[in-house]
Each structure stands twice: as structure tokens, then as C-alpha cells.
Amino acid sequence: MAANDNSGDNSGWDRPDERLIADAYRLLFGSLTRERLRENAANGALMPQKFEFGAYGLAGRSLAWKALLMPAPPLTTELSQHPVPPLAEIRRRRDLYVDVLRDLMQAPDGNYEEGFILPGHSRPPTPALKTGTFEKNNPLSLDEQNPWKQWFENVDLRKTIRQDVQRTFPDLSYFREPEVQSDLTNILFLHAAKHPEIGYRQGMHEILAAIFLAVDYDSLDRWTSSVDDRDILEMCDRTWVAADAWSLFGLVMNSMNIWFEWREPTGAPKETENGLNPYVAPIVTTSNRIQNQYLSNVDPTLWRKMSELGIEPQLFLIRWLRLLFSREFGFRETMILWDGLFALDPSLELAQWICVAMLVRIRNQLLPSDYSEQLTYLLRYPAAEGGALHVSLLLQQAVRLSQEPNTSTGASIVLQNRNLLGIPIEVPEPPARPTPRRRGDRPQQQQTSIRTPTEKRESPQPGFPELIARNIIDKSESLGINRAIFNTVSEIRRNWTEIPSAFSRSYTASSTDLPSLSYSQNNPSPDLETPVWEGRGRSDIEMELAALRNQQKTLAHAMTWAVNALLKDSDRLGSQNREALDCLSYARDVLMTGNVMKLDQDRLVSHAAPPPPPKEAQVGTQIPPSNEAPTPSVMLSKRDYQPPVGLTRTPHVIKPEVSPLHTTPYHRPSASSFASSTPSQERPRSTASSAPPTASPRYITSPTSPTPRSSGLQWQHSPPSMMSATHRKGGDAQHAAIATPSTPSYGYPPKSLSSAGRSNTTSTDPLGALQ
């Protein structure tokens, strides 16, 4: 029904290859677990790269949406690890679509518009006079019950809808096709007619359009297709593009209707002067909550500034929410954002937190601005650089914010934006004037111009933990264990500034498609050297301090593990290594107690002459070349590692593809460890800090999946929650990676694969509702 398969002409869009669609189906409903599907979507990589086509297409996207949004077939939800194709549900909804369409497109005299054909039918529906006597049922009757009255109203409604449909996504030629426009109009009309309390509102058309395009992309011509799997053909049948788009649109709108709701204020408008309407539209309430509650909890500085200037949140949030950010990002990025949103939270509550994360992200632009500049930024959201990373990071920040809405999380997000996106922490002093942009252009320039400072900063000096590490290496003998120590510590150091790799695509075999991921590996930890908090507001400093304290405690915990691990071999150690270990232990204690004001230098340096650093050890210190995924590799001694069945060669490259989702809660040291802390304004880098963090990052945990998804990785010594192990696509053993004893980076602790002795409890899980 929708558009013809006219890939040959210059219509400017193509469907993916049929085999790709079939592959996508098999992947989604065969090999992927539900959990993995959600995880991929949340990471900005719903499908592996090979499924991408064109500038913004992704084969299988609509199939994934069907799996994520449609109710699963009965009795399978709990039992099945894999998404089950919701064929029965789809059939039911297709039938419903035909019924509703047949009913609503029929004029009261029983006729249909010329050329109107129901999907799945070859001939126009038979006209049949509807009920009612001629007195009532004729176009000129003044009877209140006259069905023509409703009909004419509907004609007007369709006209209004068509007006918007005709200018939907002006950049995409697909939407200029008459068949597409006709289907979109029908669907919006049906939706409005079935939801009279809301009706049709501008904005719905763009939500539907994006869904429709995704469904049409994944459609197959049942008669000519070379695909012979009947389920695939049924699911992807082109006949039902409109029906399926209507279903998905309805499911999405279930969550969004509230943002479109509005009714005439009761009483005469005069009574509601000064805007004190008795009725407040839900979108206004929501907008206020986002800015005045959520944002004020997370980034009080920004909130205060916006409030002082008198920015009314609904001015920009109406558009952000009602269009689900489609005007704020490019089409491709918007779709990636939707993937994750549908996967993480079909109720779309998370969208509110995405707004908060978006505000925090452009705080450097907003803070120095005046009223009109702020509003300009908010209504022309600065362009996303970094594509998928940019938006999927927003998603993950939104999840964290929704769980821990406090300044500590806010600070960590500012840090994360610095590390992963190069957005400086410092708010630029001179007000950057937004240049007037042409309508329809994607804003581009400002952000780059504002963003430069940190990148220039060099970091010639090693940070504190690395100093310790060098020391250890310098005096060590080349026992195999050296590398482990070194890598552990350099890992810690890296984690100090949050491992960007902790956030990575967990699916595709190569990471080259997302070069931005390795970005901050080339830019190691500028924050260790430069006190960035000079000349800034107190609350900024506090936010950062809180984050650093949190990190420090995390590091202490990591060191504890490292020391313990090394101590197991202590009987074999030479004296220098003992010394090294001692040094490491001291560093651990400093980090752990957090209130040591003066370091005992003696305990940090060796008393023996340092031998030249063993080559072996240096290998691990190299910063990986820019295009490679970071490889903080740690070899565990063989007896620690038991190869999984079928894994013949020892895997050695570790790509910490730690997903922010599905993690076990990080084992925090007990509160008493910090009990002796005293507040301190010392630089948190060298000595330490104070009171327990205002909040500890709590991590999302997979709602389901008690089953280890690995290919059988097992740990003999199950180290306390520091192990991270990852696996590649489909748990493929060949790619199984060894865990690195990595510190849980801020917010993204390594996920643990060991099923032994690790509790998977105590997690707040907003996603639980999904299944």
C-alpha cells in the first residue's frame, strides 16, 4: 500500500535489501535475547552496523520496535529469553485497522471516496447505507443526530491534518509521495477520531511519520519477495505498512497523549486574566517539574540562572517532548534516541530526564547567556557532534539522573561530557553570541567555537596513581606480576577520569565505526593536573568535589582488590616487590581513609636502586592509537583464569565493553570506612576528602537474566566485584574477553559475568516494567 517499490527512480530513498530485512528478523527473533536487544538500543546500536543503509536507515528498526512496544504473546513473556515475534498481536491489530478504517472512511450515505481501497483488499468496499431515516441522515438535515454533521467535522479535521502532513520532514523526499501522505493522513485521522478528548495536534504528524518510514523500510512485497520464511513475510508484509504504523503510533501515543492534552479553560476567558487559568495543561505541569524540580536538584546553578532570567520551561519543552526531540537532533540521531527510549522505558517517562541531561549538556552555552540567548539555544538546540554517542550518552545520563537526581550525579555528568564529548567543565566567560541561523539549518558553529579550551590543555605530568605505578615498575623485577600491577594502577588512573570505553558499543565487532568512542583516550586526564575550579561558583566546586570524592572511594576499593590479589602470591615475591606492594597498600590506605593531609613520601618511593623498567610492563602503558578501542589489558595469571569450554587460545586483548546497563550493583565499602573522615577543602587529588558522598551511584541492573550471558567464562577466584568481563556478539566464544580488574568507572561499573556468589539484588530498576 504505502509507497511503491521505486528504488530505481529518483524518489531519493531506498529500502534495504530484502535479505538484510530477513537477517534483521532472524537476529531479532532468533539470536538476540530481549535483554541484549535493550542493551544494544540503549547503547545507540540497536542493530549491528551492517544493517545501516542510506543516510539514516536501519534495517530491522521497526521490527525491533514491534518487539519492544507490542505486548508479547501470552505465556511467553516470562519464559522466553528471546523476543517472540508478536504475530498474533499484529494480525489482530491489522484487522482492527481495517475495521476502523472501513467505518470511519464511509460517508453517511454509505459511499467511500473514489478509489478508496482497504489494505488487504483488491476491490473498493461495498457501499452500504448506514442506519438512520432520511429525515436525520441527509447532508442538509438540521437534526442534532445527523451523521453528516460529524462527517463534515471529520472532513475539516482531515483537511487540518493534511496541511501538516504535506509539510512533514521537508528534507525527506519520501514524505512527498502522495501515497505516503494519504496513509499518514488516514492514520492521524483515525487516531484523532478514536481519541476525541485529544484529537489531532500538531506534532503528532512527525511522530507518526518517523514510525511510518521505519515500518515501510522493513517491508517486503509478499508476491515478489525472494524471502521464503512465512513468518517474516507476514510480519513485514508491505500491504500492512499503514496498519502496523498505526499500531506502533498508537502504542507510542499511549504514553505521549498526556503531553498533547488540552482543553478549553472553563468559563469566560476574561476571568482567567494574568494567565491564571484554572486549568493547567499537563504538558505545562510536566515542563515545570522538569525545570523547577528535576533540574534544580541536579544542577542548581543552571536552574537558578534560568529562573532568574524568567525562562518559562514550557516554551521549549513543549516542542522537545511533543516531538520526542526530533527537531533537536538530526533524523538519524533522533531515531537512535527513540530506539533507546522505547527499549528502556516505553512509558516514556525517561524523556523528562533526557530533557534534564540535554540542559546540563549545554550549560556552558546557557550559563553566560541572557534571556534571549538562552531561549535561542533552547529553541535551536546546538547541534550534536558525535552522532550516536551524543544521543545514547544522553539516554544513559537520563537513566542515572532518574535514579539519583542530585548534584553529585549532575557533576559526574558534567565530567562525563568533558571526557567523552570534550565539553569543558569551565563555563566560558565571554557571552558567546549565537549567530542567527537560517531556518531549517542545523546549528553547527557555536558549539565548536565554545568548546575548545580543554582540548588544548596538556597533561605532561602523570597523575597521582600513576606516579605510584611508575615507582613500582621502576623497582620491580620482571616477574609476570609486574604488568598486572602496572596495568591495574594505570587502569585506575584512567578510570579516575571515567573510562570512556566503559561506554561502548557492545555489539559490533569493530569499533572503528565509532571513532568518537576512543576519543578521550588520546586526551588523558587533563583534570588531574589543572585545578579547574578556580574562579568558579561554590556550588560548581562542591559538585565536583563530591564527584571526586566518590571516585576516590571507588579507587580505594579497586586498590584494595589489587593489593589483595597480589598478596596471594606474596610468598613468591622478592623484597622489592614486597616493597612495591607495600607502597600500593599505603596508597590504598590513603585513598581509603580519605583524610590524610600529608603523604608519607618514604612509603611511596623505593629504597633500592631502580632497575630499568621491563619492556613487558611498558606495553601495557601505551595509549592505544586513536582509532582503536582502549585496551587496558590485564593478564591474569593462568591459574586465575579458566578458559571457557571451546576456547582454545588464551584471549588477551581486552576491550572493556562494559555496558552501563545490566550490571551488578557495585560493592561499596561500608559506610564505616569513611566514618573518620573530616571535611576538607584540600585538593582532592593528593590528599583527601571528606564526608561520605552525598550519593553513591546506584546502577541499573538488568531486570531479568539470571543466566550468565557469557560463553562460559568462569572465575576461580571470584574477585569482589571488580571483575569486568565482556563478550562479543551473541556471546561468541572467540571474542570472549578476559575480565580486567577495572575500577568501576563513574556510573558504569563493569558488569560481572560470574554467577557465583554475586548478588544481583538491591537494584532500583525502572525498566522492570518492560517485561
Contact residues toward another protein (CB under 8 A) are 160, 163-164, 166-170, 176, 199, 201-203, 205-206, 262, 269-270, 273-275, 277, 281, 283-284, 308-312, 314-316, 318-319, 322-323, 327, 368-373, 375-376, 379, 431, 433, 435-436, 438-440
Distance CA 716, CA 536 (A): 49
Task: Identify whether the C-beta of residue 688 lies closer than 8 Å to the C-beta of residue 596.
Answer: yes
Distance CA 438, CA 173 (A): 20
Distance CA 743, CA 399 (A): 21
Nearer to another protein, 371 or 522 (CB): 371
Closest CA to 393 of 514, 286, 283, 298: 514
Nearer to another protein, 265 or 712 (CB): 265
- Across 318-421, the runs of DSSP E, i.e. the strands, are none
Nearer to another protein, 264 or 602 (CB): 264
Nearer to another protein, 75 or 268 (CB): 268
Nearer to another protein, 323 or 584 (CB): 323
Burial of 676 (C-beta count, 10 Å sphere; 0-12/13-18/19+): exposed
Task: Identify whether the C-beta of residue 574 lies closer than 8 Å to the C-beta of residue 477.
Answer: yes
Task: Name every residue whose Cβ is closer than 8 Å to that of residue 613 and which is 6 or more positions away in sequence.
Answer: 473, 474
Least gap, CB of 446 to another protein (angstroms): 13
Least gap, CB of 169 to another protein (angstroms): 7
Distance CA 323, CA 313 (A): 16
Q: What is the DSSP string of 631-680?
A: ----PPPGGGEEPPTT--SPP--------SSS-PPP-PPPGGGGTT----
Least gap, CB of 308 to another protein (angstroms): 5
Burial of 669 (C-beta count, 10 Å sphere; 0-12/13-18/19+): middle
- CA dihedral over 50, 739, 410, 342, signed as positive or negative: positive
Residue in the structure block whose three cell numbers are 623485577: 477
Amino acid at 309: L
- CA dihedral over 672, 677, 678, 684, signed as positive or negative: negative
Amino acid at 402: S
Distance CA 588, CA 594 (A): 10
CB atoms within 10 A of CB 407: 23
Phi, psi of 741 (to 5 degrees): -75, 70
Phi, psi of 254 (to 5 degrees): -50, -40
Q: What is the CA radius of gyration of the chain?
A: 29
Q: In angstroms, what CA-CA distances link 104 with 58, 147, 150, 674? A: 33, 11, 10, 68
Least gap, CB of 372 to another protein (angstroms): 4
Least gap, CB of 208 to another protein (angstroms): 13
Nearer to another protein, 206 or 404 (CB): 206
Phi, psi of 386 (to 5 degrees): 100, 0
Least gap, CB of 201 to another protein (angstroms): 6
Nearer to another protein, 263 or 598 (CB): 263
Nearer to another protein, 286 or 576 (CB): 286
Least gap, CB of 56 to another protein (angstroms): 16
Least gap, CB of 236 to another protein (angstroms): 29
Least gap, CB of 200 to another protein (angstroms): 9
Nearer to another protein, 165 or 592 (CB): 165
Nearer to another protein, 283 or 350 (CB): 283
Task: Name every residue whose Cβ is closer than 8 Å to that of residue 763 and which is 6 or more positions away in sequence.
Answer: 665, 698, 699, 700, 701
Nearer to another protein, 152 or 371 (CB): 371
Least gap, CB of 264 to another protein (angstroms): 8
Least gap, CB of 270 to another protein (angstroms): 7
Residue in the structure block whose three cell numbers are 572503528: 512
Distance CA 97, CA 25 (A): 23
Least gap, CB of 164 to another protein (angstroms): 5
Least gap, CB of 341 to another protein (angstroms): 18
Burial of 673 (C-beta count, 10 Å sphere; 0-12/13-18/19+): middle
Q: What is the DSSP string of 574-597?
A: -HHHHHHHHHHHHHHHHHHH----
Amino acid at 8: G
DSSP state of 740: E
Task: Identify whether the C-beta of residue 504 lies closer than 8 Å to the C-beta of residue 655.
Answer: yes
Distance CA 495, CA 46 (A): 27
Least gap, CB of 523 to another protein (angstroms): 30
Task: Name every residue whose Cβ is closer than 8 Å to that of residue 153 and which is 6 or more positions away in sequence.
Answer: none
Nearer to another protein, 445 or 522 (CB): 445
Nearer to another protein, 277 or 459 (CB): 277
Least gap, CB of 656 to another protein (angstroms): 41
Closest CA to 18 of 202, 219, 154: 219
Nearer to another protein, 367 or 532 (CB): 367
Helix, strand, coil shares of the chain, percent, nearest 5, are 50, 0, 50
Instruction: State the greatest distance between any 2 C-alpha atoms of the chain, in Å, as a whole number.
Output: 110
Nearer to another protein, 112 or 262 (CB): 262
Least gap, CB of 186 to another protein (angstroms): 19
Least gap, CB of 424 to another protein (angstroms): 19
Nearer to another protein, 362 or 566 (CB): 362
Task: Name every residue whose Cβ is closer than 8 Å to that of residue 114 and which is 6 or more positions away in sequence.
Answer: none
Nearer to another protein, 197 or 602 (CB): 197
